[in-house]
């Protein structure tokens, strides 16, 4: 059961990351955010995993 929960958590995390990146690219295309903000957000993805784990727990 624990292995299943870990796999589910990993799937949710990657789905969250992919959706977030598409939203950021859409905002960049619309001109609502600058390229510098996009780079800061992409580099911040490595911190998202810890944040996302806290949300699930």
Structural domain tally of the chain? 1
**pLDDT at residue 26, rounded to an integer:** 81
Angle 48-6-3 from CA coordinates, rounded to 5°: 165
Across the range 9-26, mean pLDDT stands at 82
Domain range for residue 35? 2-56
Map the chain to HEC letters.
CHHHHHHHHHHHHHHHHHHHHHHHHHHHHHCCCCHHHHHHHHHCHHHHHHHHHHHHC
Residue 9: band (very low, low, confident or very high) from pLDDT cuts 50, 70, 90: confident
Residue-averaged pLDDT of the chain: 73
Q: What is the pLDDT of residues 28-46, one digit of tens each?
A: 777 776 666 666 666 666 5
């Amino acid at each position: 059961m624990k292995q299943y929960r870990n796999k589910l958590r990993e799937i949710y995390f990657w789905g969250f990351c992919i959706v977030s990146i598409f939203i950021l690219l859409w905002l960049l295309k619309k001109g609502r955010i600058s390229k510098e903000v996009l780079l800061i957000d992409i580099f911040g993805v490595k911190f998202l995993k810890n944040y996302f784990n806290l949300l699930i727990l």
